[in-house]
Amino acid sequence: MRILRIASFPLSCEKFLSTSIMTFMASLGGEKTLEHIWHQVPPDYYQKGVSENLLQKMWHTRKLKIVLDLLGNNHNSILDVGCASGWFLSEVQKRNPKAVCEGVDVYKAAIEYGKKKYPTLKLRYADAHKLPFRDESFDGVICSEVLEHVVEPERVLREIKRVLKPEGIAVVEMDSGNFLFRLIWYWWTHLRHGVWEDAHIHSFTAEKLENMIQQVGFAIKKKKRFNCSMAIAFQLQKSGVNEASRLAWTVDPRRLELLTSSV
């Protein structure tokens, strides 16, 4: 059994991770570091995958459709957490041409590649555990197939919640962890020697992910299974947003005046 350890993080990323997690993971030792796993993946992995591999094209184009349907297209600012080299975000931008689209990823080579390929995107080398943005900065936030790769997925979800505007929409998507996915994933990473071997730090099921989402204070508005139920996507808002909006309408003196004058 291989054990992952955190080692040789760039200082700008390492300082964002808690000392306890760093110490614990490093003490385990292991054959691979996270940084080594990232560098197995070519910076243009997704661009080549969707153009040259039928299975990747089917998987990612269907995922894109589902995420776009849940995200909507009336946003001024969109953040992609774990954007890799920006292929997915570039497709989202086509649906939201007026939006400022930003992405963060800890894989520096992918970010540098994406900056050159997609000059209209704002891509940043940064850690999802400590997003470099102010509170309530974005109308829409995407986190697609990322949480299983990070050290503290709950912390990343809390960061997404922090930077999301009160009426904003977040879409979190991941594999469902069902038997069919696990079977195909084993074939993809082991039997065909794929680049993602050992990349999943955490094993999720749809139920485990849903529970974690609710624990951090998100309200689940919609959820969709797709790709033969091997993947699931959640449309999220901050809990209590609709109720707060309803109360604001009720007590706003200007609206009360309008209601009174119309009687």
Residue 8, pLDDT above cutoff 80:
no
Contact, 171 vs 143, CB < 8 A? yes
Tens of pLDDT, residues 142-175 = 999 899 888 899 999 999 999 999 999 999 998 8
C-beta pairs of 183-190 under 8 Å, 24+ apart in sequence: 184/230
Neighbours of 200 (CB within 10 A): 18
Q: Which fold has domain 44-261?
A: Rossmann fold (3.40.50)
Written as six digits, the tokens of 178 are 């069902």
Quick one: pLDDT band at residue 186, thresholds 50, 70, 90?
confident
Separation of alpha carbons 153 and 131, rounded Å: 13
- Taking the model in full, what pTM does it have? 0.76
Domain residue limits, the chain = 44-261
Give the pLDDT mean for 111-116: 97
Per-residue tokens: 184: 């195909």
Show the beta-strand stretches assigned E in the chain. Answer: 4-5, 32-33, 77-81, 100-105, 122-125, 138-144, 164-175, 218-226, 231-238
